Each structure stands twice: as C-alpha cells, then as structure tokens.
Amino acid sequence: MQLEQDPVQILDAVMPLYLNSRILRALQEMSATCSATDNALERKRNMTVTVAYKRERQARMTGELMESVAGYDGVS
C-alpha cells in the first residue's frame, strides 16, 4: 500500500489553488488602494470646502466687528 502521491500530481492539484489565491490577494490590495485613494480625495474636497467656509465666515465676522467698532467710535 502506497500512501504518497507523485509530486507532479500534488503540484497539479495545489498550483491552481495557490495561483488563484495570489491573484485574489492582488485584486484585494488593488481594491483597497483604490478605496483609500477615493476616500483621501473626498476628505481633501471636504476639507477644502470647510476651509473656504471658515475663511468666509471669519471675513464676515471681522467685517461686522469693524462696523460695530466704527459705529462706537462715531458715537463717542
């Protein structure tokens, strides 16, 4: 009774599984990279909008404060 198989038969059985797992892993990494890039670009867009909003808000507040101070100076 022989329990060992021919090495060629073992490789023929295992190699497709190994190659399939390597390809799937590469696709998974590529998908994760694309997702991370998309998320980073979205965060950059959101941050740009937030910074622009904050600058506009600060400019309005500064203008209102200057008007208030100018009005106070005119009353004094």
pLDDT of 1 strictly over 60: no
pLDDT of 13 strictly over 60: yes
Q: What is the pLDDT of residue 71?
A: 80
Give how far the C-alpha of residue 54 lies from the chain's centroid of Cα atoms, to the nearest Å: 23
Global pTM reads: 0.58
* Residue pLDDT, tens place only, 39-76: 999 999 999 999 999 999 999 999 999 988 888 776 66
Q: Whole-number mean pLDDT of the chain?
A: 91
Q: What is the pLDDT of residue 75?
A: 66
